[in-house]
Chains A and B, each alone.
Chain A
Amino acid sequence: MAEFETFIEASIRQWHGVEPPNDPGRRLAADLAGTIAAFEKLRGTLVFEDEPASFEAALQATKETA
């Protein structure tokens, strides 16, 4: 098993007491490498200038008004 997958399974076991339930679970956990890569790609592309950050406030600010 690759080092990344071993680390993920150990982390989940340590922090949550949950074991890999099956092979699809193992494969999808291994796919977290892709999630991390996607997250890394977003670094620097978004900043906190658009305050307030509240999603509910954004719904109101952008709502249909006609």
Chain B
Amino acid sequence: MMTDLADLSMTEAAEAVAQGKSSSLELLQACLANLDATNPQVNAMIWEDREQAIAEARAADEKTAMGGTIGPLHGVPMAHKDMYYQAGRLATCGSALRKDWRPAVTATVIERLAKAGAYVFGGLNMAEFAQNPTGHNKTFGDCHNPWNLPYITGGSSSGSGASVAARFNYMALGSDTGGSIRLPAAACGVTGLKPTQTRVSRYGVMPLSFSHDNVGPLARSARDCARVLTVIAGYDPQDPTSSREPVPDYESFMDGDLRGTRIGVPTNIFLDGADAPVVTAMEAALAVLAARGATISRITLPLMDAVATYGGIVSRCEAAPIHAEWMRHDPQAYGAHISGRMYPGYALPAAYYIEALARRGPILRRFAKEVFSQVDVIVTPTIKTCLPTLAETDIDHGPPGTEHKFMAVSSNTRPFNYLGLPAISIPCGFDPNGCPIGLQIAGRPFGEGRVLKVAGAYQLDTDFHAARPPILENTIREKKGTTA
């Protein structure tokens, strides 16, 4: 019974509470049962507060019983990437340097989720300071893929992807500066949405590269992501960079009708060096979308060299000064791959950085004019290869050259951060090692509705997003004392 409740999507769980079919405490207990069963192997959660969570669950249930106002996430327990500040609670940012750090402020997105009825029961593992695409972490231990433990979870929101996949979390916030929501979503077989740049407030969220940082959900389905985005999006006076663009009800876009939708598949860059199982899964997904009424065309995306070069400069230049004091005085506190990647950022000239930022608007305009006149959304593999193992991408202990394999993981996601476009990753198959394959769908600025519409339509006809990793069956068997 407990496991069944943990199998619900976030929206199903919220509706179960709202309709009195389940209590918030039952949802929490279902999550905690799977947490206890899987986290010793997956290592997705790094701190928890059961006492407060139980109190909040009981308070939610009392409110339900009294017929109080119920928000769209009422009674849903959640845990987030451990870089969302909650006044007085831990926010380790995945680093030894903040191992015991407790911020004085609460992130706007946490407040908005709470206002909608959700509560937080712990903090999730992540790449140190959100700076790797794999899930390695020298302080809290590497996060392991629930589908196949030696393989990467994707990062930097490693625990966010793994916790949702391992069924002890209905929804986790991640952050995405170069793919850090979409990569763990793809690797762990869950759905993850990076919104348009400026769509969601970053107040109270650990910065990495403020021009590229985005806040967004990882959850079981596109509908889950739509509901969360409706709650967290919108202008925030505490983050003056957040957009005043009106926030629609994103779930209203999800009617499954793709007639008239034009899908473009890039012929350049995104499939270079792609593994056959990944390409096969993408082509099968395109057939599903075509059957729903979409038209598929192959397009060449312009300006990709400029996007890659300028995007890399912006990210490195913005990360370096944030960490300068620690890099001067305590560089060995970082994993070697973190400090090593930040180090070149100090050598880039300001003129490069300013040019990279100044070109961003004109490049987006030209890209949009050339691409979105032909297609409505762009579809690519989220990760173009079968997943590598943690060992194969371990820069800290691997041979020279490991860093190139490590960086290749995020080659298909980074372009959409510099361009500022919304992009989602949805599960669309499995590779020969049993690890999930992700499909990336990107749209125009503030086109999250259309992106979610396409993703949601695909999930009406497929069940990859509902698949359970074998670790759940194995751990349940072990607990019952039976053999596989």
| Complex interface: chain B residues within 8 A of A29 (CB) | 343-344, 347
How far in angstroms is the closest Cβ of chain B from A49?
8
- Does B340 lie within 8 Å of A63, measured CB to CB? no
Chain B, 28-84, CB within 8 A of any chain A CB: none
Chain B, 300-336, CB within 8 A of any chain A CB: 305-306, 308-310, 312-313, 320, 324, 327-328, 331-332, 334, 336
| Complex interface: chain B residues within 8 A of A62 (CB) | 364-365, 368-369, 372, 444-445
Contact with A along B327-365 (1 / 0, CB 8 A): 110011010110111111011100010000111111111
- Tell me, yes or no, whether B27 is within 8 Å of chain A by CB: no
How far in angstroms is the closest Cβ of chain B from A55?
4
Residue among B211, B346, B400, B446 with max Cβ neighbours from chain A (10 Å)? B346
Q: Please measure, in the bound complex, the distance between the C-alpha atom of A22 and the C-alpha atom of B344, giving whole angstroms.
A: 12
Q: Please measure, in the bound complex, the distance between the C-alpha atom of A60 and the C-alpha atom of B197, giving whole angstroms.
A: 11
- Tell me, yes or no, whether A1 is within 8 Å of chain B by CB: no
Identify which of B312, B362, B400 contacts A50 (C-beta below 8 A).
B362
- Does B403 lie within 8 Å of A18, measured CB to CB? no
Q: Please measure, in the bound complex, the distance between the C-alpha atom of A27 and the C-alpha atom of B396, giving whole angstroms.
A: 13
Given contacts A23-B400, A53-B362, 19 further A-B contacts (CB under 8 A): A16-B324, A24-B336, A24-B341, A24-B396, A27-B400, A28-B343, A29-B347, A35-B312, A41-B305, A42-B309, A46-B359, A48-B362, A50-B362, A55-B211, A55-B360, A55-B364, A56-B361, A62-B365, A64-B445
- Tell me, yes or no, whether B381 is within 8 Å of chain A by CB: no
Q: Please measure, in the bound complex, the distance between the C-alpha atom of A55 and the C-alpha atom of B196, giving whole angstroms.
A: 12
A-B pairs, top 5 by smallest CB distance, nearest first, are: A24-B340, A64-B447, A62-B368, A50-B362, A25-B340
| Complex interface: chain A residues within 8 A of B197 (CB) | 55, 59
Residue among A12, A26, A55 with max Cβ neighbours from chain B (10 Å)? A55
- Tell me, yes or no, whether A2 is within 8 Å of chain B by CB: no
- Does A17 lie within 8 Å of B403, measured CB to CB? no
Identify which of A18, A22, A64, A66 contacts B336 (C-beta below 8 A).
A22
| Complex interface: chain B residues within 8 A of A32 (CB) | 344, 347-348
- Does B340 lie within 8 Å of A59, measured CB to CB? no
- Does B346 lie within 8 Å of A42, measured CB to CB? no
Q: Please measure, in the bound complex, the distance between the C-alpha atom of A1 and the C-alpha atom of B444, giving whole angstroms.
A: 46
- Does B420 lie within 8 Å of A59, measured CB to CB? yes
| Complex interface: chain A residues within 8 A of B313 (CB) | 35, 39
- Tell me, yes or no, whether B150 is within 8 Å of chain A by CB: no
| Complex interface: chain B residues within 8 A of A18 (CB) | 324, 327-328, 331, 343, 346
- Tell me, yes or no, whether B154 is within 8 Å of chain A by CB: no
Contact with A along B79-120 (1 / 0, CB 8 A): 000000000000000000000000000000000000000000
Interface residue SS majority, chain A: helix
How far in angstroms is the closest Cβ of chain B from A53?
5
| Complex interface: chain A residues within 8 A of B369 (CB) | 62
A-B contact pairs, 6 of them (CB 8 A): A27-B340, A28-B340, A29-B347, A39-B309, A39-B352, A52-B361
| Complex interface: chain B residues within 8 A of A6 (CB) | none
Given known A-B contacts A24-B337, A63-B447, A15 and B346 have beta carbons under 8 A apart: yes
Identify which of B328, B344, B357, B395 contacts A55 (C-beta below 8 A).
B357
- Does A24 lie within 8 Å of B245, measured CB to CB? no
- Does A59 lie within 8 Å of B445, measured CB to CB? yes
- Does A66 lie within 8 Å of B445, measured CB to CB? no
| Complex interface: chain B residues within 8 A of A28 (CB) | 340-341, 343-344, 403
Closest A residue, CB atoms, query B199: A59
- Does A21 lie within 8 Å of B365, measured CB to CB? no
